[in-house]
Amino acid sequence: DVKVTQSSRYLVKRTGEKVFLECVQDMDHENMFWYRQDPGLGLRLIYFSYDVKMKEKGDIPEGYSVSREKKERFSLILESASTNQTSMYLCASSQGQGGYGYTFGSGTRLTVV
Protein backbone atom coordinates (compact mmCIF):
# COMPACT_ATOMS: atom_id res chain seq x y z
CA ASP A 1 0.00 0.00 0.00
CA VAL A 2 1.00 3.57 -0.67
CA LYS A 3 2.11 5.34 2.40
CA VAL A 4 1.96 9.09 2.74
CA THR A 5 3.67 10.37 5.85
CA GLN A 6 3.23 13.81 7.34
CA SER A 7 5.95 14.74 9.75
CA SER A 8 3.82 16.15 12.56
CA ARG A 9 0.39 15.18 13.84
CA TYR A 10 -0.07 18.32 15.95
CA LEU A 11 1.74 21.66 15.77
CA VAL A 12 1.34 24.87 17.74
CA LYS A 13 3.04 27.94 16.32
CA ARG A 14 3.06 31.63 17.08
CA THR A 15 1.72 34.35 14.79
CA GLY A 16 4.41 35.53 12.40
CA GLU A 17 6.48 32.35 12.54
CA LYS A 18 7.59 30.59 9.38
CA VAL A 19 6.12 27.10 9.42
CA PHE A 20 7.19 24.05 7.43
CA LEU A 21 4.88 21.08 6.93
CA GLU A 22 6.57 18.05 5.43
CA CYS A 23 5.04 15.23 3.41
CA VAL A 24 6.77 12.12 2.06
CA GLN A 25 5.29 9.35 -0.10
CA ASP A 26 6.95 6.02 -0.78
CA MET A 27 5.36 4.78 -4.00
CA ASP A 28 7.00 6.92 -6.68
CA HIS A 29 3.84 8.91 -7.37
CA GLU A 30 4.22 11.86 -9.71
CA ASN A 31 1.47 13.97 -8.20
CA MET A 32 1.29 15.48 -4.75
CA PHE A 33 -1.23 17.83 -3.21
CA TRP A 34 -1.73 20.00 -0.17
CA TYR A 35 -5.24 20.63 1.17
CA ARG A 36 -6.61 22.31 4.22
CA GLN A 37 -9.85 21.16 5.77
CA ASP A 38 -12.09 23.35 7.89
CA PRO A 39 -15.58 22.64 9.29
CA GLY A 40 -18.28 23.60 6.80
CA LEU A 41 -15.76 24.43 4.08
CA GLY A 42 -14.61 20.96 3.12
CA LEU A 43 -11.29 20.22 1.50
CA ARG A 44 -9.69 23.19 -0.20
CA LEU A 45 -6.71 22.78 -2.50
CA ILE A 46 -3.74 24.98 -1.63
CA TYR A 47 -1.02 23.83 -4.04
CA PHE A 48 -0.20 20.80 -6.11
CA SER A 49 2.74 19.44 -8.04
CA TYR A 50 2.90 17.10 -11.02
CA ASP A 51 6.67 16.75 -11.09
CA VAL A 52 9.86 17.61 -9.28
CA LYS A 53 10.39 21.37 -9.07
CA MET A 54 6.91 21.90 -10.50
CA LYS A 55 4.18 23.65 -8.59
CA GLU A 56 0.73 24.88 -9.41
CA LYS A 57 -1.56 27.10 -7.37
CA GLY A 58 -4.77 25.62 -6.15
CA ASP A 59 -7.86 27.46 -4.97
CA ILE A 60 -6.38 29.18 -1.90
CA PRO A 61 -2.62 29.70 -2.33
CA GLU A 62 -2.39 33.06 -0.58
CA GLY A 63 -0.06 33.00 2.39
CA TYR A 64 1.47 29.67 1.40
CA SER A 65 4.31 28.42 -0.75
CA VAL A 66 5.58 24.94 -1.58
CA SER A 67 8.77 23.15 -2.43
CA ARG A 68 9.34 19.91 -4.30
CA GLU A 69 13.04 19.24 -4.63
CA LYS A 70 12.65 15.45 -4.69
CA LYS A 71 9.89 13.34 -6.17
CA GLU A 72 8.90 11.78 -2.85
CA ARG A 73 8.81 14.97 -0.79
CA PHE A 74 6.40 17.92 -0.97
CA SER A 75 6.68 20.68 1.60
CA LEU A 76 4.14 23.34 2.48
CA ILE A 77 5.47 26.61 3.86
CA LEU A 78 3.51 29.20 5.75
CA GLU A 79 5.64 32.29 5.22
CA SER A 80 4.25 34.21 8.20
CA ALA A 81 1.70 32.20 10.13
CA SER A 82 -1.57 33.87 11.01
CA THR A 83 -4.45 32.74 13.23
CA ASN A 84 -6.70 32.22 10.19
CA GLN A 85 -4.31 29.49 9.06
CA THR A 86 -5.28 27.36 12.03
CA SER A 87 -6.60 24.24 10.33
CA MET A 88 -6.14 20.57 9.51
CA TYR A 89 -3.60 20.22 6.70
CA LEU A 90 -3.74 17.13 4.53
CA CYS A 91 -1.16 15.95 2.05
CA ALA A 92 -2.12 13.53 -0.72
CA SER A 93 -0.43 11.76 -3.60
CA SER A 94 -1.64 10.01 -6.73
CA GLN A 95 -0.45 8.10 -9.73
CA GLY A 96 -1.23 9.94 -12.95
CA GLN A 97 -3.93 12.59 -13.00
CA GLY A 98 -5.93 11.18 -10.12
CA GLY A 99 -7.75 8.52 -12.09
CA TYR A 100 -6.98 6.05 -9.31
CA GLY A 101 -7.88 8.42 -6.53
CA TYR A 102 -5.66 10.03 -3.96
CA THR A 103 -3.99 8.56 -0.92
CA PHE A 104 -3.96 10.93 2.02
CA GLY A 105 -1.50 11.33 4.84
CA SER A 106 -2.72 11.29 8.42
CA GLY A 107 -2.92 15.08 8.57
CA THR A 108 -1.34 17.85 10.62
CA ARG A 109 -3.52 19.79 13.02
CA LEU A 110 -1.92 23.25 13.08
CA THR A 111 -2.86 25.82 15.67
CA VAL A 112 -1.52 29.35 15.31
CA VAL A 113 -1.69 31.41 18.51
Partner 1 sequence: QKEVEQNSGPLSVPEGAIASLNCTYSDRGSQSFFWYRQYSGKSPELIMFIYSNGDKEDGRFTAQLNKASQYVSLLIRDSQPSDSATYLCAVRGGGADGLTFGKGTHLIIQP
Give the type of residue at 27: M
Q: How far is the CB of 72 from partner 1 (least distance, A)?
A: 18
Q: How far apart are CA 113 and CA 96, in angstroms?
A: 38
Q: What one-letter code names the amino acid at 25?
A: Q
> Contacting partner 1 (CB under 8 A), which of 43, 63, 71, 73?
43
> What is the DSSP secondary structure assignment for residue 8, as one 8-state letter?
-
**In the complex, minimum distance from the CB of residue 101 to partner 1, in angstroms, rounded to a whole number:** 5
Distance CA 23, CA 34 (A): 9
Distance CA 56, CA 14 (A): 27
Asked if 90 is part of the footprint of partner 1 (rule: CB under 8 A), the reply reads: yes
Identify the CA nearest to 90 among candidates 67, 112, 71, 110. Answer: 110
Task: Report the residue from 7, 8, 86, 103 that binds partner 1 according to the rule CB under 8 A.
Answer: 103
Please, which residue, 64 or 89, has the CB nearer to partner 1? 89
Choices 16-24, 37-45, 65-73, 78-86 (CB under 8 A): range interacting with partner 1: 37-45
- Does 82 contact partner 1 by CB under 8 A? no
> Site residues (CB under 8 A) for partner 1?
31, 33, 40-43, 45, 48, 50, 90, 94, 97-107
